[in-house]
């Protein structure tokens, strides 16, 4: 069994409490590793180390920091296969997905922000012959980064890369459900030339470690990705301390399929946008809205493709879906399928746990599930399920499609399928979501603003937005 350790001031160590928490392998249900059950004492040690490292890290300048992050990216890339195997084992996701998306994207996050910081401009505003203003952007200091379990290394690096590039030192907390790849990353930092204390990783439970980071008076900025309820708790604690907050929260994303769409593309991509990573991506579409003229045709073709998806061993190239992340999560998703039935929904396919054989018999698998017959206001269509479950609803006009799309408390992402250029512009602008894809899904340019409206979050990550978040702007006005 593997032992996960905290990274404190450049040293791998257990928690002060010396207590441990079991980490499970979703594919088998067996214990995979143990992680430190850290608390506010570990957060304090991490904070002190980060604070000591600040001046040196800032003094390395943009180029020095950029070089460290580029070396770290290279070290992860050189170790890609081991990282991918570990991510798949820890999370239950297909190994092929970890190889193709999760780990390459973690590498790309470091490369992107290592170079973005070299091009990060300061604005100047000249007032004719009166004065010149220029915007000085300094690192904030010690910042907190808290990340979830669905894309463990991918979202962990999406936060720490811009934070570090901008010159901050970091106290980071990966999800306790999937801590393995963050631990592996911690073993590479010194080899990349990162000074001790610049990145500190404190493992453990959210209400202990995450809460201690949020409440720490020396940590003035928190970047958080996770559930809306946790985000609200973080905001409640951080607001009276006037902390800077970036909150990337839940979603209930609509997919709008108009009757002029390219049916083949809409079908194949909607299968992916529904069930990639077992539906556990915040950007997955979970409410599929289809024009009534093509509803029956789309539904029948969609269901027949979903029925062909194979749920199985995450390491097998034949598996389209692996396991969901934990027993608790599996039970939550199955309870939503039961709820959908009680609300009058008709399960068109899936709807049950999948029981595999042999070593995988204790694993947490769910058949990809499609439900129809539910109205927009029922809980199944309002609450985030975050698993391999989607619903189908029909609409008769653009206005109705837009109203349905906007009918939840969330506003993270949306997908529109249409070949009408005017409609694509009009509908995209009318949807209350931070990210809208037209005739595609998950096409990501790291320079674009990433984040949600309404209960899907506050602030934007990505590109210049992330570098602005992790710096404090100061206007310096000089009389001419």
Question: Under the rule (CB under 6 A), what is the footprint of ligand NAD?
Answer: 146-150, 155, 173, 175-176, 206-207, 210-211, 214, 225-227, 230, 233-234, 248-251, 282, 384, 386, 412, 452, 456-457
Catalytic status, residue 282: yes
Residue 240's CB is within 10 A of a number of other CB atoms, namely: 7
Q: Write down the H helix ranges in 375-449.
A: 379-382, 398-405, 421-430
**C-beta of 373: minimal distance to ligand NAD in Å?**
25
Catalytic status, residue 440: no
Nearer to ligand NAD, 192 or 222 (CB): 222
The structure tokens listed for 254 are: 């609509």
**C-beta of 283: minimal distance to ligand NAD in Å?**
8
**C-beta of 418: minimal distance to ligand NAD in Å?**
25
Strands 199-201 and 169-173: parallel
Residue whose C-alpha is closest to residue 112's, from 145, 159, 170, 61: 159
232: helix, strand or coil: helix
Counting every residue written for the chain, the total comes to 480
Residue 451's CB is within 10 A of a number of other CB atoms, namely: 22
**C-beta of 147: minimal distance to ligand NAD in Å?**
6
Catalytic-labelled residue, pool 248, 372, 384, 461: 248
**C-beta of 180: minimal distance to ligand NAD in Å?**
14
**C-beta of 49: minimal distance to ligand NAD in Å?**
20
Nearer to ligand NAD, 155 or 402 (CB): 155
Measured CA to CA, the distance from residue 446 to residue 464 in angstroms comes to: 10
Residue whose C-alpha is closest to residue 88's, from 265, 421, 319: 319
**C-beta of 238: minimal distance to ligand NAD in Å?**
10
The structure tokens listed for 128 are: 């004719």
If you write DSSP's letter for every residue of 88-139 in order, what string do you get? HHHH---HHHIIIIIHHHHHHHHHHHHHHGGG----EEEETTTEEEEEEEEE
The structure tokens listed for 220 are: 């003035």
Cβ-contact 266, 438 below 8 angstroms: no
Measured CA to CA, the distance from residue 445 to residue 75 in angstroms comes to: 23
Q: Edge-to-edge strand order for the sheet containing 169-173?
A: 11-13, 6-8, 199-201, 169-173, 142-146, 221-225, 244-248, 457-458
**C-beta of 153: minimal distance to ligand NAD in Å?**
13
**C-beta of 230: minimal distance to ligand NAD in Å?**
3
Catalytic-labelled residue, pool 282, 284, 372, 461: 282
If you write DSSP's letter for every residue of 59-95 in order, what string do you get? HTHHHHHHHHHHHHHHHHHHTHHHHHHHHHHHH---H
Please give the radius of gyration of the chain, using alpha carbons only, rounded to the nearest integer: 23
Nearer to ligand NAD, 5 or 146 (CB): 146
The sign one gets for the Cα dihedral 81, 170, 460, 70 is: negative
Measured CA to CA, the distance from residue 68 to residue 477 in angstroms comes to: 34
Residue whose C-alpha is closest to residue 405's, from 267, 274, 287, 263: 287
Report, as residue numbers or ranges, the catalytic residues.
Answer: 248, 282
């Amino acid at each position: 069994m593997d032992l996960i350790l905290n990274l404190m001031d450049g040293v791998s160590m257990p928690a002060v409490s010396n207590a441990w928490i079991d980490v499970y392998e979703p594919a088998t249900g067996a214990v995979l590793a143990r992680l430190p059950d850290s608390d506010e004492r570990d957060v304090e040690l991490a904070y002190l180390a980060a604070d000591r490292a600040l001046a040196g890290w800032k003094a390395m300048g943009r180029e020095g920091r950029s070089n460290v992050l580029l070396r770290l990216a290279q070290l992860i890339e050189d170790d890609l296969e081991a990282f991918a195997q570990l991510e798949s084992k820890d999370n239950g996701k297909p190994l092929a997905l970890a190889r193709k998306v999760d780990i390459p994207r973690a590498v790309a996050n470091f490369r992107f922000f290592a170079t973005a910081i070299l091009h990060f401009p300061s604005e100047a505003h000249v007032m004719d012959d009166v004065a010149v203003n220029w915007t000085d952007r300094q690192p904030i200091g010690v910042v907190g980064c808290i990340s979830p379990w669905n894309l463990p290394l991918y979202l962990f690096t999406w936060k720490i890369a811009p934070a570090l590039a901008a010159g901050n030192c970091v106290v980071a907390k990966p999800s306790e459900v999937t801590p393995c790849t963050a631990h592996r990353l911690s073993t590479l930092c010194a080899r990349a030339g990162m000074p001790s204390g610049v990145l500190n990783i404190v493992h453990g439970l959210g209400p202990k470690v995450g809460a201690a980071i949020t409440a720490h008076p020396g940590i003035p900025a928190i970047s958080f990705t996770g559930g809306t309820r946790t985000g609200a708790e973080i905001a409640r604690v951080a607001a009276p301390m006037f902390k800077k907050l970036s909150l990337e929260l839940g979603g209930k994303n609509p997919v709008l399929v108009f009757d002029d769409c390219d049916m083949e593309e809409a079908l194949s991509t909607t299968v992916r946008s529904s069930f990639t990573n077992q539906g556990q991506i915040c950007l997955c579409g979970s409410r599929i809205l289809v024009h009534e003229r093509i509803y029956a045709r789309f539904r029948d073709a969609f269901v027949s493709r979903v029925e062909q998806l194979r749920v199985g061993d995450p390491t097998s190239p034949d598996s389209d879906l692996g396991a969901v992340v934990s027993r608790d999560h599996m039970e939550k998703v199955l309870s939503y399928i039961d709820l959908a039935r009680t609300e009058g929904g008709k399960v068109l396919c899936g709807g049950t746990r999948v029981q595999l054989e042999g070593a995988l018999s204790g694993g947490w698998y769910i058949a990809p599930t499609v439900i129809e017959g539910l109205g927009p206001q029922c809980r199944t269509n309002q609450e985030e399920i975050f698993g391999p479950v989607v619903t189908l609803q029909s609409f008769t006009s653009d206005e109705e499609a837009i109203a349905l799309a906007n009918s939840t408390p969330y506003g993270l992402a949306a997908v529109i399928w249409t070949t009408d250029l005017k409609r694509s512009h009009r509908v995209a602008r009318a949807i209350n979501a931070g990210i809208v894809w037209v005739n595609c899904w998950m096409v990501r340019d790291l320079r674009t603003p990433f984040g949600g409206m309404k209960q899907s979050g506050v602030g934007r990550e990505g590109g210049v937005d992330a570098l602005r978040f992790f710096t404090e702007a100061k206007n310096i006005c000089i009389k001419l």
